[in-house]
Chains A and B, each alone.
Chain A
């Protein structure tokens, strides 16, 4: 008889449903992270006469604590388990199931964005604390946007590392997470900083109009045209990115090449927000609402951009209302919906509230994906057992199961192609594929004589 005490290690775990008892290293990690944040907050009291060296050390301690603590906690949590899908406790734990911790985090995130947009002086010395870093990177003192960009990038990077550990069994998720981390770090942080340091336009080349709505405003274009060759390049890229690159890439790969591989909003959602993806509303009603709001915002920004170009031909009394319209868009869409609601609601409405309900870039990509693209999520014959993991973990609130259980491929405008439905499926039913468009919508009908379509063969034999 085997020694039955061999398994006693398991008995040291918590017995509460889904409860994850923290290992000592994880406790240490969270403590370090907390200390780091407190050091950062204490920076509020930094006086302007504190020397640059002191600030650098202080900042290093603050972010060092946050980064090392989060990595210690996140990596240990996932690497201490066998590789595989581990979503246990997501529906029972306070933070991820809209409990008290979730609400507290939502309030904190919302407050952060309110301060950032409307009361940035409230950051006080915390912004000053970032001066040495900003000087080193951009050759100028920090402002609250630099503080935000730093926090955003640190968050994407360290939580990206956690996501890498969590999804290490899926090479699709590993490659995708690495790319989206690099996209934020290089294209949306280091490169703009470097450009600023050499006195060039601080260009964010991975944000396209209509997401970066000012890119195609006549005022921004004129401003850039006066900034030399690089400014001209940025203007050219503003047009090429949305009118050439976007349709071509979306035709070949679907919306995902942008939303899940390049975009910073998607990057934040899939790293910092990964634990909240299951909260998205899957109801038919949410889908109905989403279609009005997301295309409504697209119409709004097209209108604003178009009118701004027509402004020179308008009578003078139109200038003030147009200015107000533009301000309204910036306030309502650019700040309230993209920031305050978009990120503040992570723990309450899921991670892609902005992307799903409001982002005009997602709307454009969605139209192309739905009607002119080779991308689809293929359903593998009749293997679906309707368990619902795919729908539950879809951050866009798509009821993936409703297609999969009918053997239909999934072709939806909103799908950002994160691939998590295919990752969590316990039966290998779903796969993200690009292939010929003719039989993209076709499904599987059992048990009539099946044929291997041209599409299947060409897709599969990579």
Chain B
């Protein structure tokens, strides 16, 4: 293959994964990664840790700076103004231009601005880029209270960050309960309690009417739809993100919400590919969404683009959905599909620890008992196990019996499988499970000696009270 010039727009996880994987496959291609945000790839997911002083910016770079020249991946800093898809050339805001043979658009997303009056005032921002963090650093010293509008993962991160600077936080959430569009009621309330426990003023069913300016053009208060006026010096817009596609759209690359791509991540324009947060699948993979803005899908997209650009034919099959997050001190993992309300024909089992900070929800089909999805809060579970169970159509009874195999908590942590399975058996006696536990050496020797009648490797817990 002759030497091609592959230009990647965006040095986030998608662009960088594509660059690395193209280099793995091809020694000849010239690879250039363009970013206006930073010189080097860093982990956007760690922005909060930079702000809180857990890590420095340098710590968030997954590769040492020498990695790029060593792998002949050229890094170009600059904002792209326009893409000329007929002349196959990029134009930068400083007038530079860069020709390409293949172009990968991986421009990520931008915080939603839903058209509130005052949303462009100083002190109103989202949290997505390093520049957002810099602006926070600049304004926080003169901020006593901040309003966060939009209850999602980024909002919780911002709240946690602000608390470490002694800034009071009012959290405005449109829904009846926190992240209620994604989480079922039990989990949503659990997270709500965690937010309150950290001293956040959580205001449910509350929305911004407008953001009021002071004389200098900085936000001074938020007016809610209920008519309250909340004095504040900063406003964070965290009602989700949307694909950052202005440049692609202006270049005539076919877009809907995101840049439209086929299962090989080709856009409608020749020699232009797209992936990551900014891409939208024309054909939505089973059990997935058209636009998925999470870290690992960005990585998967990058891997697929690299394979396809190098002549392989690798269609996108992302498999079972999974995700994770942390709400202050409570970790959350989800595998498969768990909607706020179970779909028709689905049953939902929910267990919550009396402390209210640990829970598990297992959704399954009412007729066959096949697993559909799981939410876990405050307990770590094993990705591999749930992925296998859900993909293989394992029944809820089987999964409950082997629940210990899914536990990923550290050693010495209390395990709640007996309680969970007992509660499950009480709620679903027709699907009752017997929890299998691994026997220690002494038990096995003891059993051997006294020829215990109980079956090997099994212990009944159904008699336990839930």
Contact = CB atoms under 8 A, between A and B. Distances in A.
A1 B170 CA distance: 12
Interface of B: 13, 43, 45-46, 49, 51-56, 59-62, 64, 137, 140-141, 144-145, 163-170, 197-201, 203, 226, 228, 230-231, 295-296, 299-300, 317-320, 322, 324-326, 328-329, 331, 333, 380-385, 387-388, 391, 402, 404-415, 436-438
A451 B382 CA distance: 12
A405 B60 CA distance: 13
List 6 tightest A-B contacts by C-beta distance, closest first: A381-B383, A13-B166, A18-B53, A447-B319, A84-B329, A428-B380
A27 interface: no
A386 to B, nearest CB: 4
Interface in A393-437: 401-402, 405, 419, 422-423, 426-428, 431-433
Q: Which of A17, A169, A378 has the most CB of B within 10 A?
A: A17
Interface string A345-384: 0000000000000000000000000000000001011110
Given A92-B53, A387-B43, A461-B405, A427 B166 contact: no
A135 interface: no
B59 A388 contact: yes
A383 B414 contact: no
Given A380-B380, A446-B296, A388 B55 contact: yes
Contacts of A9: 199
A169 B328 CA distance: 13
A460 B382 contact: yes
A4 B170 contact: yes
A82 B59 contact: no
A431 B383 CA distance: 12
Nearest to B62: A386
B165 A91 contact: no
A422 B203 CA distance: 34
A427 B141 contact: no
B165 A13 contact: yes
Nearest to B404: A461
Contact of B62 (A15, A405, A457, A461): A405
Given A386-B43, A446-B300, A392 B410 contact: no
Given A7-B200, A383-B324, A451-B388, 11 more contacts: A4-B201, A12-B166, A15-B167, A17-B137, A84-B328, A419-B410, A426-B331, A446-B319, A452-B405, A461-B404, A461-B437
A87 B295 CA distance: 23
A284 interface: yes
Nearest to A387: B46
Contacts of A85: 329
Contacts of A419: 410
Main secondary structure of the interface of A (DSSP, over half): loop
B263 to A, nearest CB: 13
B167 A456 contact: no
A84 B330 CA distance: 9
Contacts of A11: 144, 166-168
Given A383-B296, A385-B295, A431 B165 contact: no
A1 B228 contact: yes
Interface stretch (A63-71, A170-178, A304-312): A170-178
Contact of B383 (A90, A444, A449): A444
B381 to A, nearest CB: 8
A172 B408 contact: no
A391 B165 CA distance: 25
Contacts of B167: 10-11, 15
Contact of B438 (A18, A386, A458): A458
A451 B200 CA distance: 43
Nearest to B166: A13
B405 A90 contact: no
A297 B82 CA distance: 59
A143 interface: no
A172 B414 CA distance: 10
Given A4-B145, A446-B300, A10 B199 contact: yes
Contacts of B55: 91, 387-389, 392
B300 to A, nearest CB: 7
B457 to A, nearest CB: 9
Nearest to B436: A461
Nearest to B440: A462
Contacts of B388: 450-452
A444 B384 contact: yes
A6 interface: yes
Contacts of B329: 82-85, 169
B407 A460 contact: yes
A175 to B, nearest CB: 5
B235 to A, nearest CB: 15
A392 B145 CA distance: 31
Given A7-B199, A11-B166, A388-B46, A431 B380 contact: yes
Contacts of A7: 145, 168-169, 199-201
A389 B328 contact: no
12 contacts: A7-B168, A11-B144, A88-B54, A380-B384, A383-B333, A386-B43, A392-B55, A402-B62, A432-B411, A444-B383, A460-B407, A461-B436
